[in-house]
């Protein structure tokens, strides 16, 4: 049964309805204004730049990819773009194993990996001071010998034979090894030795690592971590080094 309202009672009911409607409209307008303002603030505060998009990288690798000399995460600033691209590609394809890196690059295109690599290759912040290590004199001598002369008896080429005479890398794909933490160097050479890390075949670094003993790995890593980085250190030009082994990561060396 319907109830018909008359006179003042009807007018009061209509007024209440109009007030409720107006109140809801006001709330909707206010909410829209807040959301629009928040979006405007966000758009202003977070510019869509490659630097901003790579915040996930610098959270571990440090501002500009500079890292530090006492942690596990390596410096990626200034590394050859070809090397950085190869490593990002290796993480995506499973040749390198580190869950956080795999998660970050798993769905990124080759073009975007190249953009990331180019960005960090163009960064040149100062290097930290050498890492304070104090191995025995025998360990220091062994490390220096392996880096500069290798060990012909074990068919181990000198590190400088691939990474350049100053160990600052060779364009386009061979990294410098100075300015990296000892623990990181040990872990990566060890990963090649035990098969956890791979590169494009033929995997020259894996071949070298198989010939290194645990003591050799520690000696090389300790010696490298203790060396100062030359002022203005950059990777040398392509073709400056004749590789002692065919290396799938270096264009032309495996042909």
H/E/C letters for each residue in 127-174? CCCCCCCCCCHHHHHHHHHHHHCCEHHHCECCCHHHHCCCCCEECCCE
Q: Is 162 annotated as a binding residue?
A: yes
- Backbone phi, then psi, for 170, in 5-degree steps? -135, 130
Task: Determine whether the annotation assigns residue 101 to a binding site.
Answer: yes
User: Residue 100, annotated ligand binder?
Assistant: no
58: its two tokens: 């610098």
End-to-end CA distance of the chain: 94
**Do the annotations mark residue 60 as ligand-binding?**
yes
Alpha carbons 8 and 208: distance in angstroms, whole number: 97
The answer to whether 239 and 252 are in contact (CB under 8 A) is no
Q: 204 a known binding residue?
A: no
**Is there a binding annotation on residue 61?**
yes
Residues that constitute the known binding site for heme c: 57, 60-61, 101, 159, 162-163, 205
Residues that constitute the known binding site: 57, 60-61, 101, 159, 162-163, 205
């Amino acid at each position: 049964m319907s109830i018909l309202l008359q006179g003042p009672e009807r007018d009061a009911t209509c007024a209440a309805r109009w007030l409720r409607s107006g109140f809801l409209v006001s709330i909707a307008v206010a909410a829209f204004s807040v959301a629009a303002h928040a979006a405007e603030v966000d758009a202003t505060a977070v510019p869509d730049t490659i630097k901003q998009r790579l915040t996930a990288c610098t959270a571990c690798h440090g501002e500009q990819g500079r890292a530090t000399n006492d942690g596990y995460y390596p410096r990626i600033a200034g590394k050859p773009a070809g090397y950085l691209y190869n490593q990002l590609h290796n993480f995506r394809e499973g040749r390198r194993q580190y869950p956080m890196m795999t998660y970050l690059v798993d769905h990124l295109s080759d073009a975007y990996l190249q953009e990331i690599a180019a960005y960090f290759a163009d960064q040149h912040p100062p290097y930290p001071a050498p890492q304070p290590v104090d191995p025995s004199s025998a360990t220091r001598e062994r490390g220096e010998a392996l880096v500069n002369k290798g060990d012909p008896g074990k068919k181990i080429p000198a590190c400088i034979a691939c990474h350049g005479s100053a160990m600052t890398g060779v364009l386009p794909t061979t990294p410098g090894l100075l300015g990296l933490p000892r623990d990181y160097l040990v872990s990566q050479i060890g990963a090649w030795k035990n098969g956890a890390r791979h590169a494009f075949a033929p995997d020259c670094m894996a071949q070298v690592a198989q010939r290194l003993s645990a003591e050799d790995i520690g000696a090389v890593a300790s010696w490298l971590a203790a060396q100062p980085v030359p002022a203005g250190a950059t990777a040398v030009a392509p073709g400056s080094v004749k590789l002692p082994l065919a290396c799938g990561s270096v264009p032309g060396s495996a042909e």
